[in-house]
Structure 1
Amino acid sequence: MKEKWIIVTGAGSGIGKEIVKECVSKGYSVIACDIKDGALKQLAEDTKGHIETHVVDVKKGNDVKDLFYQIKDKSLYGLVNNAGVYLGENLLDYEENEIDFVMDINIKGYVYFSKYFGELLMKKEIEGAIINISSVSGMEGSSDAIYGMSKAAILGLTKSCAMNFSPYIRVNAVAPTMVNTDMMKNIPEWRKNEYIAHQLIPSFVTPQDVADTVLFLLSSQAKHYTGATFDLNSGCYLR
């Protein structure tokens, strides 16, 4: 396979780490981005393949712009916007700085990466793909209102970018239900029980499940998919 580079944000743990490993296993080269240098170093040690690690604060547009300047000559093909935070708080308990923190990572980070990725590929008229990791919370709401709002915004961003970046870049979203990662610890027990009660397939979604879906959307098999959201929720919410 001709060398293709995939950018993955939030690559140091959980879903992002699994996506990196799966991309490498399928022959892609990966630019792994995270705020935690130690997590990236461990990822590089654990991953056998062509991987570059970059410490990037997705909240800062200039950091993201600098990254793309560094990698502009690579054969970029894919972007997986995955970095995110979940505080698990009721809206009444949110402080203003916490609202900004979640919005900056969960929305602005996706916007910055999409913008600079889109600029590079559109200028060169190169085909590529963006996959945004959203959440079932973006469609059904969340007990953490700010998180739910941020993930709903990503669904809108996905459709809008699909229009902005056509015909060269396909843009799709994956919306998992609860995924068995450290973030799951912040989800209230009543919310977990609600998910379990509604699941038609009685098992939690794993990071590997999300990675498999992402790899499909990166592949040529998904060449006619753009502006779409792929529910990954074990039939939890049927509409």
Structure 2
Amino acid sequence: MLLEGKVAIVSGSSRGIGKSIALTLAKNGASLVIIGTNTKLLTEVANEVQSMGRQCAVHLGDVTNPETATLAAEKTMSLFNKIDILVNNAGINMRSSTLDLKLDDWQKVLDVNLNGNLYFSKAVLPYMIERNYGKIVNVSSSTAKSGHKNAAPSYGASKAGVDYLTRHLALEMSGHNIYVNGVSPGPIETDMIKQWTEEYHQNVISNVPLKKLGTPQNVADVVLFLASSMSDFITGETINVNGGTYMN
């Protein structure tokens, strides 16, 4: 039980990678507040967490609204009187060339993927500073580090911003025993691949050195590592989880 007695907030936790992260943290002892906009799916995740004997509260809200983060942090403090872990997972992607990209869509992706991370970090940091402890894990993407034709430029730009925000907060918060790291998934087998043709699917796999797609659990396991005491001499890092498609 790597997180026994810990309290975590996980955004974007109704499906896919976020759901796996929430369940993995709970399996390792954490109590949770999960964030999203789909009541039904969040309730299903909460019920699964509670079936493990862990506490889990649902908080509905759009991460692009700063109030969502403020109220989520206040709810967590009201229920558990502390916030040990924040996982900024909520994110969206759009598929468009630069010339076809609508400016509203550019802004929407940045609002969810980058601004949402800032809002939640700002909401929890005062509580973490007060207790002189915290772990923040930001979910980025390998698209932040290398161009990708299957994503709009807004996606890579937003995730590159997340990588910088991770490093900046890690440096700024280092004196408060607050660790800020990231995880950078590559091709992961989520609901998104249902949009792929079989030809495209096989082409993606052929370009992965390990010749397979990752799973949400692969990502969740790295988040668990970063959220636990096992990573107590690591901060400001973003760990690749991509089967070798991008190495640095």
TM-score by length of 2: 0.89
Indicate whether 1:66 and 2:84 are aligned.
Answer: no
Indicate whether 1:96 and 2:103 are aligned.
Answer: yes
- After superposition, residues 73-112 of structure 1 pair within 5 angstroms as 73=78, 74-112=81-119
Q: Secondary structure at the match of 2:43?
A: helix
- After superposition, residues 175-190 of structure 1 pair within 5 angstroms as 175-185=184-194
Q: Secondary structure at the match of 2:87?
A: strand
Question: Aligned letter for 2:83?
Answer: L
Deviations 1:147-196 (A, max 9, x none): 11111111001000101211321001100101111234457888756643
Question: Aligned letter for 2:167?
Answer: K
The root-mean-square deviation of aligned C-alpha atoms, in Å, is 1.9
The 8 Å contact of residues 19 and 214 in structure 1, kept in 2 or not, is answered as yes
The 8 Å contact of residues 15 and 210 in structure 1, kept in 2 or not, is answered as yes
Indicate whether 1:138 and 2:144 are aligned.
Answer: yes
Deviations 1:63-92 (A, max 9, x none): 221222222352211010000001122222
Indicate whether 1:159 and 2:164 are aligned.
Answer: no
Question: Aligned letter for 1:76?
Answer: I
Give 1:125 deviation, angstroms.
3.6
> 2: distance between equivalents of 1:154 and 1:191?
28
Indicate whether 1:120 and 2:146 are aligned.
Answer: no
Question: Aligned letter for 2:217?
Answer: Q
The 8 Å contact of residues 82 and 127 in structure 2, kept in 1 or not, is answered as no
> Mind listing any 5+ residue stretches in structure 2 that lack a counterpart?
none
> 2: distance between equivalents of 1:149 and 1:216?
26
Aligned to 2:11: 9
The 8 Å contact of residues 198 and 235 in structure 1, kept in 2 or not, is answered as no
Aligned to 1:223: 232
Aligned to 2:58: 53
> Mind listing any 5+ residue stretches in structure 1 that lack a counterpart?
none
Q: Which moved more, 1:151-160 or 1:73-82?
A: 73-82
Question: Aligned letter for 2:57?
Answer: E
Displacement over 3 Å in runs of 4+ = 184-195
> 2: distance between equivalents of 1:56 and 1:160?
26
Question: Aligned letter for 1:40?
Answer: L
Q: Percent identity?
A: 32
Q: 1:69 to 1:191 in 2, by over 3 A?
A: same
Aligned to 1:169: 178
Question: Aligned letter for 2:118?
Answer: V
Q: Which moved more, 1:30-39 or 1:186-195?
A: 186-195
The 8 Å contact of residues 7 and 32 in structure 2, kept in 1 or not, is answered as yes
Q: Which moved more, 1:124-133 or 1:179-188?
A: 179-188
Q: 1:94 to 1:60 in 2, by over 3 A?
A: same
Q: Which moved more, 1:184-193 or 1:209-218?
A: 184-193
Question: Aligned letter for 2:146?
Answer: E
> 1: distance between equivalents of 2:200 and 2:117?
26
TM-score by length of 1: 0.92
